[in-house]
Amino acid sequence: MTNPQPLTTNMLALIALFEGSARGQINVWDEQYLSLGTLHYAVGQGSGARFLQRVYQLDPAGTLACLGKDFTAAIKAGVPAIKAFCRTRVWQTGTRWNGAFVALSRLPAYQQADMELAQPYLDAAQRVARRYGLTSERGLAWALDRCVQQGGSLRSHVEFVFKMLQPGLREDEVMDALSRAYAATANPKYRNVVLARSLTVAHGNNLRSKYPGSVSLERQYGISGTRPWNPANAPAPAAPTGLRVFLEDPAGRNILWDGDQSDVYGGVPLKNAWLTEVRDTLKRGSRTALRGIYVTVFDDGALLLERD
């Protein structure tokens, strides 16, 4: 695997600030049992289990040294065993596992797996940035943050606001307006957090957004509001194909589902056949109560599942 570009590394460091995942920090408190990695891949939803499998595949000895024989045996046994181990041995155990995952995060294998799992979000960010004419590094960072927190699908309300913008606006003014549009589509419980985080990236700091602490994209992360993120002749990423499903997690983030046919969300088994039928049956742009959950079908055919 080639080394990631500095901008990618810097953007993921910024996301780690927002996600509370820097330097191997984990979350063992919510119903996902364990979330780890820069984007806090959730074991309960499958992506965290596959993250652990990839780290083990790249460095079995390092994984064993950091996590111990019992955890490593569960990783070797597969996704159901990882979920079971994390549910009974990791979930709600306070800081017991912190040191192990800090050590694991220092392995090159961990860092490679982290970058590999982030790639779909990075690709989606390029599509979003191009869609809204965002050419600066900060513009791409803003697009990545929206994809991580709210998914990479286009949203009807955001599209409407974008089409109504006056011509000639500065890029930060465009991102400000789109940040408010994205926040308007978020779960009301998390709307203020979504807006504060998005405006912080849009303006390059948290002076206006009131996001906690002191944040400067240029000073702390080297992310410029003027330097272009991509040469004009670079090829555009391929458009997404197939079934794309986002799941709202307990923190209000929309997580890209990894396609594990054994997953259950809000009591509903996630099967490709059913999800495809839902996508093809429900009206685009609609949010529908279905089998105890809410399903939104975006204009590009992607699905968002939310618990009632």
Nearest CA to 12 out of 141, 130, 139, 116 is that of 141
Overall size of the chain counted in residues:
308
Q: For residues 41 and 20, is the Cβ–Cβ distance under 8 A?
A: no
- Which pLDDT score is estimated for 239? 40
Q: For residues 198 and 179, is the Cβ–Cβ distance under 8 A?
A: yes
Q: What single-letter amino acid sits at 40?
A: H
Using CB atoms within 10 A of its CB, is residue 87 exposed (0-12), middle (13-18) or buried (19+)?
middle
Tens of pLDDT along the chain (308 residues) come to 445 579 999 999 999 999 999 999 999 988 899 999 999 999 998 999 999 999 999 999 999 999 999 999 999 999 999 999 999 999 999 899 999 999 999 999 999 999 999 999 999 999 999 999 999 999 999 999 999 999 988 899 999 999 998 878 899 999 999 999 999 999 999 999 999 999 999 999 999 998 999 999 999 999 999 999 985 534 344 344 467 888 888 877 788 787 888 889 999 999 988 999 999 899 888 899 999 999 998 877 889 999 87
Residue 51: both structure tokens together: 């993250």
Q: For residues 43 and 65, is the Cβ–Cβ distance under 8 A?
A: no
Alpha carbon distance 302, 202 (integer Å)? 25
Backbone dihedral region of 228: left (phi > 0), alpha (psi from -120 to 50 degrees) or beta?
beta
Angle (CA) 105-111-115 rounded to 5° is 135
Alpha carbon distance 290, 294 (integer Å)? 6
Which residues neighbour 58 within 8 Å (Cβ) at sequence distance 6 or greater? 108, 109, 112, 113
* Cα-based distances in Å from 33 to 154, 175, 211, 251, 274: 30, 35, 27, 13, 26
Residue 308: both structure tokens together: 């009632």
Nearest CA to 51 out of 65, 62, 35 is that of 35
Nearest CA to 195 out of 139, 161, 145 is that of 145
Q: At what angle do helices 171-184 and 137-150 cross, to 10 degrees?
A: 0
- Which pLDDT score is estimated for 232? 53
Q: Where are the alpha helices (DSSP H) in 188-235?
A: 191-203, 217-221
Q: For residues 143 and 132, is the Cβ–Cβ distance under 8 A?
A: yes
- Which pLDDT score is estimated for 3? 54
Alpha carbon distance 307, 248 (integer Å)? 7
| H or E element in which residue 298 lies | none
* Strand pairing category for 245-248 and 41-42: unpaired
Backbone dihedral region of 265: left (phi > 0), alpha (psi from -120 to 50 degrees) or beta?
beta
Q: Any bridge partners for residue 268, and if so which?
A: 265
Q: 204-208: which pairs have CB atoms within 8 A and are 24 or more residues apart?
A: 204/138, 204/172
Map out the domains of the chain as residue ranges: 6-116, 132-221, 245-307
